[in-house]
Amino acid sequence: MKIGIVGNIAAGKMTVSRIFKEFGFRIVNADEIGWKVLEEPEVKSRIVKAFGSKILTSGKVDRRILGKIVFRDKELLNSLNRIVHPRLIDLLKRELTADDDIVLDCALLDKFGLADYVDYIILVRAPEEVRKRRLIEAGITAEEAVARIDSQESDERFLDIVDFVIDNNSDFRKLRQDCLRIFQEVSDDRSL
């Protein structure tokens, strides 16, 4: 079984993925794979050509520096995405062909054309102020948090493709209960 997890930054997608890992799923995290793609020689070369060597620290792409640049300017973000996304999408498709149960943490699942590669899609959402607070607690400045949140489209775009919605604005116990309910429902569907 393949389950896609969508939602905007700091909504709790990774936390939901970890809960599903407890249920036997392997996590495929699009962000983590994307970070590896940044270091592939051809991709890195194109990024340096587009953004300059200032985005490198000790020869590696410094995601924090790159993020400060691209999350303030949609055109620059689009430029980065045109470089990284084709390779990332190929790698995600490869992961999704595996036989094991996978939970795919991918905010851009719809944009990547991966909806047909998963059996179910869960939208994880949280109010903007909650997401901003989570980003700040993770070490991002308030200004950067707002820029990252503002760079994303509304959660509403997902409503036509999702099977389940989790409102992650309470505590972990409630979130885990919501995940367990969904897991039981999709497991029941699989046994039919």
pTM of this prediction? Answer: 0.90
- Indicate whether 81 pLDDT > 60: yes
Token code pair at residue 145: 């948090």
* Kind of pairing between the strands at 56-57 and 120-125: unpaired
Q: What is the pLDDT of residue 23?
A: 96
Q: Residue 124: its pLDDT value, please? A: 98
- Domains located in the chain, CATH noted: 2-191 (3.40.50.300)
Distances from the Cα of 94 to the Cα of 33, 59, 98, 103, 104, angstroms: 12, 28, 7, 14, 12
